[in-house]
Structure 1
Amino acid sequence: MRTNVDVHDCLGFAIKLALEAGEMIRAGQAKRFASQATTESTKSNSVDLVTEVDKAVEAFIYRRIKETFPDHAFIGEETYAGQSIPDAPTWIVDPIDGTTNFIHGYPMVATSIGLAVGGIPIVGVVYNPFLDLLYSAAKGQGAYLNGTARLPITGKPRPLATLHDALIHVDIGASRTTNVLHSRLKTFGRLAGSPDQGGKMVHSLRSIGCASLNLCLVASGGQDMHWEIGCWPWDVCAGLCILAEAGGAAFGGKNTSLCGTVNAELLAGRKYLFVRAVAPEKGETGFAVQRRLAHEFYDTTDDIEP
């Protein structure tokens, strides 16, 4: 889809906006802890939480976007009403990704601001205000950490021959039904388990509870793969742009084509597997290796519904 969106200007706007939102998040955290406020509430269940700070930050971001880009659409976590992603320029925002972490004072928290056109992320900014880590990208312009370090941080992509060599991020998720938990834990066991018992014995599994930061860690090369079930477009829109500009690959769920195409269907699909930039192997392009790893991963996992 053709668009007259200036990605350079939109990226600069999103970076400034994320930094301002970060100030609000830090101030909100300090105020909550000083007053021992307990203003969080629940969404889908008792572990799916939202705070007044989430709502205030989203309202601030929405207002700034509408002042600057009045013709652009907006989808935010705290005001989402079930609408589909339009073709028009659409800002897709998670004001505080990692709300549970925020409530507990665990610093893996981020503001995620993405811009999609035709369902394809073209600008992405993810900012962790507690660790002062700013990940940013615009289509065709590369991905960066704190504005200067180009991603991946390793420079050239490193090899990744098999799952056995991988550091993989997984998540326990918000759905806590017995069937879902059993499927997740069984999959974790297959990934981490000993090969003589049918496991892949990956280097290790990690979980930090912030999808947007996980995507950025894959983009940076610090994580090899990241598996998510149950996320929403605002969790991944910004990170998808950052990942793509860093040479990473994004795939849908277990029973999809694993073609690596990022579009509105993938963005809204709620099942994701992200793979970092990978060096070519003998007879394989980097993407062919990424796709082979995705198939190997899904051969190991159960298909879990969000």
Structure 2
Amino acid sequence: MNSDLEVARKAAREGVRTIKKYKEKGINIEQKGFHDLVTDADIATEKAIIKVIKEHFPEDEILAEESTAEDQLKDSRTWIIDPIDGTTNFAHGFPMYCVSVAMWEKKAPKVGVVIEVTRDEEFTAIAGEGAWLNGEAIRVSTKSEHKKAFVGTGFPYNDLSLIEPYLNLFRKLMQELQGIRRPGSAAYDLCCVACGRFDGFYEYSLHIWDLAAAALIIKEAGGVITDWDGEDRWAFGERIVTGNSNTHTFLLKMIGEYIPEEQRRVVTAEHSH
């Protein structure tokens, strides 16, 4: 047994229990930004997850959405936590929201756990050893023709200057793909790529805690993950495109044609790894 993965699973499960407790008793919602919500359940869940991790690894670093001032990643062992990925869904009683827990070392993912709370689906991965859904091995799809591809996305909400080119790209993809969905939880979307439900996924404005666990799950399931320039700067660049190799190549090509170069670039070079 991988002890890091077992602790990640234990911490994530404690997070799920906390979310369900708050859902039963009612939640308080606050605005972090115009389109960005936080609930008291997010904060309590994050604390519960961190408590489990610190009981086992008191010296490890923590990078968490609600309590970490900066999203700088160190070389040392770092647990990256999103207590509720899909908070807006959760706050409105809409399904598809996840607990995400990952451990990175030397700026690379080592273990990852994503649990979709409403369906109790547990996605896990260990670097170099594979990816699983509820204990069963998973792989990305083998679909090669983009006309038959089923793809997930999200919409830009913190940089509205990207709306026009994003919608131009979206319009084109509606014509080229079999279907596009926007479930509202990036961690879940990425796991859907990993298990072959989606053939690909692209989004702008994601943070490291949204994808720290799910990106490893995709990689271990045989998927490709890059930024919008096809480079390995996806972790802090806020631009991600992923899928099986064929769908990834097609999405990257479309992004290159419809998104201006200056809007495809990573936000800060210092965050690249």
In the superposition, the TM-score normalised over structure 2's length comes to 0.90
Residue 267 of structure 1: how far off its partner (Å): 1.2
Where 2:66 maps in the other structure, the secondary structure is helix
Residue 207 of structure 1: how far off its partner (Å): 0.4
Task: Give the aligned partner of residue 20 of structure 2.
Answer: 26
Residue 134 of structure 1: how far off its partner (Å): 0.4
Kindly report which structure 2 residues correspond to 1:103-118, keeping only aligned pairs within 5 A, or say none: 103-118=91-106
For residues 46 and 290 of structure 1, the distance between their equivalents in structure 2, rounded to whole angstroms, comes to 33
Task: Give the aligned partner of residue 162 of structure 2.
Answer: 180
Answering whether residue 138 of structure 2 is matched by residue 151 of structure 1, we say: yes
Task: Point out where structure 2 has 5 or more consecutive residues left out of the alignment.
Answer: 268-273
* Kept in 2: contact 1:15–1:125 (CA 8 A): yes
Kindly report which structure 2 residues correspond to 1:233-244, keeping only aligned pairs within 5 A, or say none: 233-244=208-219
Where 1:67 maps in the other structure, the secondary structure is helix
Compared with structure 1, are the counterparts of its residues 68 and 85 closer, same or farther at alpha carbon in structure 2 (3 Å cutoff)?
same
Residue 174 of structure 1: how far off its partner (Å): 2.0
Where 1:71 maps in the other structure, the secondary structure is coil
For residues 252 and 42 of structure 2, the distance between their equivalents in structure 1, rounded to whole angstroms, comes to 37
Residue 214 of structure 1: how far off its partner (Å): 0.5
Where 1:80 maps in the other structure, the secondary structure is coil
Answering whether residue 208 of structure 2 is matched by residue 251 of structure 1, we say: no
* Kept in 2: contact 1:190–1:300 (CA 8 A): no
For residues 248 and 40 of structure 2, the distance between their equivalents in structure 1, rounded to whole angstroms, comes to 41
Give CA deviations for 1:264-295 in whole Å, capped at 9, x if unaligned.
x431111100113xxxxxxxxxx5x4663344
For residues 16 and 213 of structure 1, the distance between their equivalents in structure 2, rounded to whole angstroms, comes to 19
Residue 296 of structure 1: how far off its partner (Å): 2.1
Among 228, 237, 249, the residue aligned to 1:292: 249
Among 4, 8, 23, the residue aligned to 2:2: 8
For residues 248 and 58 of structure 2, the distance between their equivalents in structure 1, rounded to whole angstroms, comes to 39
Q: Percent identity?
A: 30
Residue 244 of structure 1: how far off its partner (Å): 0.7
Among 170, 190, 193, the residue aligned to 2:153: 170
* Kept in 2: contact 1:249–1:290 (CA 8 A): no
Residue 46 of structure 1: how far off its partner (Å): 2.4
Among 179, 195, 198, the residue aligned to 1:220: 195
Aligned-CA RMSD value: 1.9
For residues 168 and 83 of structure 1, the distance between their equivalents in structure 2, rounded to whole angstroms, comes to 28
Where 1:78 maps in the other structure, the secondary structure is coil
For residues 216 and 66 of structure 1, the distance between their equivalents in structure 2, rounded to whole angstroms, comes to 26
Greater strand proportion: 2
For residues 239 and 203 of structure 2, the distance between their equivalents in structure 1, rounded to whole angstroms, comes to 6
Where 1:268 maps in the other structure, the secondary structure is helix
* Kept in 2: contact 1:110–1:128 (CA 8 A): yes
For these two proteins, the number of residue pairs brought into alignment is: 263
Where 1:79 maps in the other structure, the secondary structure is coil
* Kept in 1: contact 2:104–2:111 (CA 8 A): yes
* Kept in 2: contact 1:23–1:129 (CA 8 A): no
Where 1:172 maps in the other structure, the secondary structure is coil
Rg bigger for which structure?
1
Give CA deviations for 1:47-70 in whole Å, capped at 9, x if unaligned.
200000000011111122122111
Residue 175 of structure 1: how far off its partner (Å): 2.7
Give CA deviations for 1:229-275 in whole Å, capped at 9, x if unaligned.
0010000000011001100010112xx3x25x4xxx43111110011
Task: Give the aligned partner of residue 275 of structure 1.
Answer: 243
* Kept in 1: contact 2:77–2:104 (CA 8 A): yes
Task: Give the aligned partner of residue 282 of structure 1.
Answer: none
1:23 partner letter: R
For residues 228 and 172 of structure 1, the distance between their equivalents in structure 2, rounded to whole angstroms, comes to 7
